[in-house]
């Protein structure tokens, strides 16, 4: 045996062992070895691959962590269209669907398979001779996006099938994030001051379609398969057999399917899952019903978008009646007062709920919700508690309309309504409640990126009178940090190092961190690029603010905010202290020539929620290709990119005749740039 063949043999042995134990751990939930033993196998494999890089393959377990960011996703055409399902929104519609099956087929042929419907992102996987070679999203059903690099990061997805299958095999299913993973992901994003995902599906879609596989790897996605394309090649004749074969291949599946031979069986299954869905680890919004015998499906055919032999029964959103005991008012980073209805605990969509945001005075007035009222509460996306309506038939006598206080509930300062918006705001910039939230934002990832300076640490520092402003962060001593609760020597040093690193943050991040009203991450970046010095921006904002209004993308509202903020004496003192601490006040990067860049002189406006990236990430991508973005739509706008739940910018674009791009069209434009 030569020196080259020995590591090659050992690498293959290790990969088989690791794949086997990964399958037991992630798919079967029944590990045979300890984490330490698993880590030892992985470490040995990494060491051999480091010594012999020519042995590294894309399907090696070491490659799951994700490679370098991608420039865009390649388009891929599905050999067989990936269709969606028609929905049954109530039991009558489901009964009508089953009646059509019974009218056409004999009693022995009307068996169906029921499964919980996974609320995720549909994908198609390709295996060649049992080895995973790639996969794609559904896209428009005919053309999807190649997300192979991101799929490889999903630990529940085997790179090699457990049962040998020769030739080409295509399997379809859903990528999702379970409820625990979703909560952890949103908690981490909230800690960093990032926009929260609305629901698990939104999180899964955004995670799988991010251009950086390393970020996908951190999201702990799951995948569940339910369809084999061309099942007849494997001798499969029914849906039940297909699911059994998927399991035998070592592919993850829900395992909650049931064979039903009557409408009563189907309804009993739905009744059971309408309650069980809240305990299910995966977010499910209904039950899928499919004709079991594959050969009979051609009898019914398909519509342009969906097969006629299957249907998705959608659960109605659960809502519960609760009595409002009080309305709490909290104060946020910018001083905005937020009312929250507090009620006796109710069990809603699988969790205990005691509170639901009422958002602002306009929402309170719209609902006419009062202390003592009975309200109907549901969960938006089965995650976020929301007040749907007041049950006026149960309103107690003597209730009074609720008005937000005229004074801040934390510091007692005057609270006034902001012109043109729904918010009521505390006017005291030194309000302790605002201070904590402002410092939390200052330290967030999109601002100064001070890892470790989270809410609990900030609470302690403020309560000990060690923090009164952003500048105080840079006066903290290591011994003061080490004396905080749950801060050992290593944690203290890590935070101290993070504070020191933050001094070198780019100018756009520094401007964003200051928390100037109406100045978000994108506008801060634009200001940094335009003025390239915080002191220059300060002088123009304070002395020549009319010039700002002429700057593309600024406008009167932002110019006025900058003028007011930079004109306040305490903010001038803050800037002096930050500069003295060594914070970066200049952008000294070389200005790139954008004249020959693919999106040069093209202006975009972004509206709605994008699933593949945040709007901030989209703006950075546009900028990297020479384009610009603006916050408002005008006749000078070249394209408006529209995601889910677009706002008034979408309507204005239609009114002005500005070209509109869907997210898919936008991604295609980026890929072709």
Active site residues: 117
Kindly write down the DSSP assignment for every residue of 420-457, as one continuous string: TSS-EEE--TT-HHHHHHHHHHHTSTTTT--TT--HHH
The answer to whether the beta carbons of residues 353 and 388 sit under 8 Å apart is no
C-alpha 521: how far from its chain's center?
Answer: 18
Cα–Cα distance measured from residue 221 to residue 180, given in angstroms and rounded to the nearest whole number: 11
Rg (CA), the chain: 28
Q: What's the rounded Cα separation, in Å, for the pair 496 and 160?
A: 45
Sign for the pseudo-dihedral over CA of 29, 32, 35, 40:
negative
Rounded to whole angstroms, the Cα distance separating 665 from 673 reads: 12
d(CA 208, CA 225): 16
Token pair listed for 187: 């908690």
Separation CA 335–CA 432 (nearest Å): 10
Gap between the Cα atoms of 433 and 320, Å rounded: 32
How far is Cα 584 from Cα 588, in angstroms, rounded to an integer? 10
Q: What b-and-e string marks burial along 440-476, b requiring 16 or more CB atoms within 10 Å of the CB?
A: bbbbbebbbbbbbbbeebbebbbeeebbebbbbbbeb
**Residue 429's CB: how many other CB atoms inside 10 A?**
17
Q: Which tokens hold the place of 334?
A: 């910018």
Strands (E), 294-383: 310-314, 319-331, 337-348, 351-357, 374-380
Q: How many other C-beta atoms are found inside a 10 Å radius of the C-beta of residue 543?
A: 12
- Adjacency order of strands within the sheet including 284-291: 87-88, 310-314, 284-291, 112-118, 258-260
Cβ neighbours for 195, distance < 8 A, ≥ 6 positions apart:
189, 614
Burial call 40-56: b when 16+ CB within 10 Å, e when fewer? ebbebbeebbeeeeebb
CB atoms near residue 518 (< 10 Å): 15
How far apart are the C-alpha atoms of 606 and 627, rounded to whole Å? Answer: 13
3-class SS string, 85-127: CCEECCHHHHHHHHHHHHHHCCHHHCCEEEEEEECCEEEEEEE
Cβ neighbours, 10 Å, residue 398: 7
CA separation for the pair 404, 423 (Å, rounded)? 10
**Rounded Cα distance, 510 and 5, in Å:** 55
Contacts for 42 with CB less than 8 Å, ≥ 6 apart? 18, 61, 62
With beta carbons less than 8 A apart as the criterion, state whether 17 and 24 touch. no
Residue of 386, 380, 358 lying closest to 371 (CA atoms): 358
Q: Which helix (H) or strand (E) holds 653?
A: helix 648-656
């Amino acid at each position: 045996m030569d020196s080259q063949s020995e590591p090659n043999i050992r690498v293959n042995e290790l990969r088989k062992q690791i794949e086997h134990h990964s399958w037991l751990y992630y798919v079967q939930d029944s590990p045979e070895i300890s984490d330490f033993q698993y880590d030892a196998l992985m470490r040995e494999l990494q060491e051999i691959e480091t010594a012999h890089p020519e042995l590294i393959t894309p399907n090696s377990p070491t490659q799951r962590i994700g490679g370098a960011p991608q420039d865009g996703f390649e388009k891929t055409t599905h050999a067989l269209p990936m269709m969606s399902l028609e929905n049954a929104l109530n039991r009558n519609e489901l009964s009508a669907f089953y009646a059509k099956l019974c009218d056409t087929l004999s009693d022995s042929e009307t068996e169906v398979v029921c499964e919980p419907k996974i609320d995720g992102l549909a994908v198609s996987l390709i295996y060649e001779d049992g080895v995973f070679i790639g996969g794609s999203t559904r896209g428009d059903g005919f053309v999807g996006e190649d997300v192979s690099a991101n799929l490889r990061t999903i630990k529940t997805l085997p790179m090699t099938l457990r049962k040998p299958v020769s030739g080409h095999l295509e399997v379809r299913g859903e990528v999702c994030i379970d409820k625990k993973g979703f909560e952890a992901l949103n908690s981490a994003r909230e800690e960093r001051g990032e926009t929260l995902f609305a629901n698990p599906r939104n999180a899964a879609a955004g995670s799988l379609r991010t251009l950086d596989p390393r970020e996908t790897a951190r999201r702990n996605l799951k995948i569940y398969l339910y369809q084999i394309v061309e099942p007849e090649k494997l001798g499969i004749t029914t849906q039940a057999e297909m699911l059994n074969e998927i399991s035998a291949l070592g592919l993850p599946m829900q395992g909650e399917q049931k064979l039903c031979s009557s409408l009563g069986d189907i309804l009993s299954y739905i009744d059971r899952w309408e309650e069980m869905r809240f305990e299910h680890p995966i977010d499910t919004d209904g039950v899928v019903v499919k004709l079991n015998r594959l050969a009979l499906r051609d009898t019914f055919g398909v519509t342009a978008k969906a097969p006629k032999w299957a249907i998705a029964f959608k659960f109605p959103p659960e809502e519960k009646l609760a009595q409002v005991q009080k309305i709490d008012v909290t104060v946020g980073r910018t001083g905005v007062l937020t009312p929250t209805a507090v009620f006796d605990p109710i069990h809603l969509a699988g969790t205990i709920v005691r509170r639901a945001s009422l958002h602002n005075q306009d929402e309170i007035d719209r609902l006419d919700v009062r202390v003592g009222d009975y309200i109907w509460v549901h969960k938006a996306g089965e995650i976020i508690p929301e007040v749907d309506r007041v049950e006026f038939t149960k309103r107690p006598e003597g209730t009074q309309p609720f008005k937000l206080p005229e004074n801040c509930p934390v510091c007692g300062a005057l609270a006034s309504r902001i012109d043109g918006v729904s918010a009521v705001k505390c006017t005291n910039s030194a309000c302790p409640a605002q201070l904590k939230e402002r410092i939390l934002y200052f330290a967030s990832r999109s601002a100064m990126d001070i890892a470790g300076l989270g809410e609990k640490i900030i609470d302690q520092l403020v309560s000990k009178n060690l923090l009164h402003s952003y500048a105080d962060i840079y006066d903290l001593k290591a011994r003061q940090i080490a004396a905080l609760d749950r801060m050992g020597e290593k944690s203290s040093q890590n935070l101290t190092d993070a504070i020191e690193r933050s001094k070198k943050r780019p100018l756009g991040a520094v401007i964003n961190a200051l928390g100037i009203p109406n100045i978000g991450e994108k506008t801060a970046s634009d200001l940094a690029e335009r003025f390239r010095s915080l002191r220059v921006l300060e002088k123009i904002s304070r002395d020549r603010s009319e010039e700002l209004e002429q700057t593309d993308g600024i406008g009167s509202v932002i110019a006025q905010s900058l003028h007011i903020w930079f004109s306040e004496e305490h903010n001038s003192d803050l800037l002096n202290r930050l500069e003295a601490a060594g914070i970066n006040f200049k952008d000294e990067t070389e200005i790139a020539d954008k004249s020959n860049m693919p999106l040069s002189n093209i202006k975009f406006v972004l509206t709605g929620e994008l699933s593949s990236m945040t709007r901030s990430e989209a703006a950075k991508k546009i900028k990297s290709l020479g384009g610009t973005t603006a916050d408002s739509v005008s006749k000078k706008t070249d394209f408006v990119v529209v995601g889910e739940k677009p706002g008034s910018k979408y309507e204005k674009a239609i009114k002005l005749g500005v070209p509109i791009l869907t997210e898919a069209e936008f991604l295609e434009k980026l890929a072709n740039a």
